[in-house]
Structure 1
């Protein structure tokens, strides 16, 4: 990676951490969308960098908030999430070797659907959903986490429908994402696919994540939470479109 791409990576990491701190979601999605759109590093390597930075963000948040985790729901989610993470990871490896444009199109569509889904602002239920629904949401999150280190959309949507305190929802999600990220990094090492020097960019970008997380807490912008969420949704939608369209045109044999 040259210095120009490194600067872009640092800007992406900082911006994603800033939005994540203000809205409670979108770190992995924004990072993967930006990396894929700018073609900074291969998507398989980008997923490793996102995993490292997800752990940095999680440590900051859980250091104070781990007591607020909704443990009953966490136990339902984490098992299927970890099991299906294996399938998502090996599906990514297969697509990366056989169909790069298909992989980019898949990621773009995931980001587009996620941006639309998360903008719906689900209303909380009056009662907790059935235990099976947490199992299903955890499994879907595991597949996306294994493929792209972006486990958020199905789990965020489901958890925010529950009649639970906002802090409990946020900390539960952060803990699930952190454990998924750790397992995924172990899989990368165990399968011999550790990206070497590329992974160091995750360490290099960690101070940007920490600094922008602090800045978002200390000096939030003069925007309402709803306005910030709308900005995040719009950025996600645009990045997904610009990532998916060139890949689709390549797949159908039309030069973008």
Structure 2
């Protein structure tokens, strides 16, 4: 990939995604994958690989301060479900990328639009903690999504925010899930020979963009309410997902 407008736009989207995630606590991967897919900036496997790297950058910044708040039992059960299905999802992505690009784009659109709709519906807080098996099941679904599109979050986010846990524990546990699953995903990319020069160039500019977006959100928080930013981001995510779905249906038809 040369230094063209698409590359600069990808870096800008990475900064915006990190800014939104720092303020709202969700969806760096969803924003980056949704915008990249809707605008056609790069192939889905490459975008997912770079997204994994950027999630790691953001997670290191967050966990360097708050790792002591991790809910270890929840993290363990989510990872037990997520890790095997992430591997399945990763190899499914490469199968579809080689044989069914239209179907892959349709899946991405459904994941983006569905995740935005799910995150827009605030989960009702439970009075008691859910059974451990439910954390495992949320990990199964999230791991599949993480393997396909580097977006482990939505099912796990929805489930953890229903629990009677301190918000700090929920947020840091989620970041820990993202961090550990994307380490695995990045390892799969490396082992499969998926690291290319164009990917390294894209990541080299996007990583500082993520750091910049995170710093700006902390140093100069906007006057807008976080809820307004969240609603706007979810609406744009939903629209990008719908755009991907209609585009894919046109190709499949």
TM-score for both structures, normalised by structure 1: 0.96
2-structure distance, mates of 1:196, 1:7: 16
**Which structure 2 residue ranges, 5 or more long, are not aligned?**
none
Which ranges of 4 or more aligned residues in structure 1 deviate by more than 3 Å? Answer: none
How many angstroms apart in 2 are the aligned matches of 1:83 and 1:200?
A: 30
SS at match of 1:163: coil
CA distance in 1, matches of 2:225, 2:124: 19
What is the aligned partner in structure 2 of residue 182 from structure 1?
A: 183
CA distance in 2 between counterparts of 1:127 and 1:199 reads 46
| 2:241 corresponding residue in structure 1 | 240
Deviation, 1:169, is 0.5
Q: Considering only aligned residues, what root-mean-square deviation do their CA atoms show, in Å?
A: 1.0
Counterpart of 1:79 in structure 2 is 80
2:165 aligns to what?
164
Secondary structure of 2:227's counterpart equals helix
DSSP 3-state at the match of 1:158: helix
Deviations 1:79-102 (A, max 9, x none): 221111110001101100011111
**2:206 matched residue in structure 1:** 205
Distance 1:110 1:25 in 2: 15
* 1:168-196 deviation per Cα after TM superposition (whole angstroms, max 9, x unaligned): 00100101111111101111111222233
User: Residues 40-65 of structure 1: CA distance to partner in whole angstroms, max 9, x if unpaired?
Assistant: 11110111110111110000000000
**Please, which runs of 5 or more residues in structure 1 have no aligned partner?**
none
What residue number does 2:137 align with? 136
Mapped to 2, the partners of 1:80 and 1:116 lie a distance apart of 23
Aligned to 1:35: 36
The worse-fitting range, judged by mean Cα deviation, of 150-159 and 190-199 is 190-199
Once the two structures are overlaid, the 10-residue window that deviates more, 141-150 or 197-206, is 197-206
CA distance in 1: counterparts of 2:50 and 2:83, whole angstroms: 19
**Aligned residue number for residue 108 of structure 1:** 109
Shift of the alpha carbon at 1:197?
2.7
Q: For residues 173 and 186 of structure 1, what CA distance do their matches in structure 2 show?
A: 20
Q: TM-score, normalised by structure 2?
A: 0.97
The answer for the alignment partner of 2:52 in structure 1 is 51
Query: Does the 8 Å contact 1:52/1:203 carry over to 2?
Result: no
Q: Secondary structure at the match of 1:248?
A: helix
Contact kept, 8 Å, 1:21 with 1:217, in 2: the verdict is yes
1:222 to partner: Cα distance: 1.4
Distance 1:199 1:175 in 2: 24
Give the superposition deviation at 1:199: 2.9
* 1:12-45 deviation digits (Å, cap 9, x = unpaired): 1001001100110110001001111111111101
Partner SS, residue 125 of structure 1: coil
Count of residue pairs the alignment pairs up: 252
8 Å Cα contact 1:45-1:199 kept in structure 2:
no
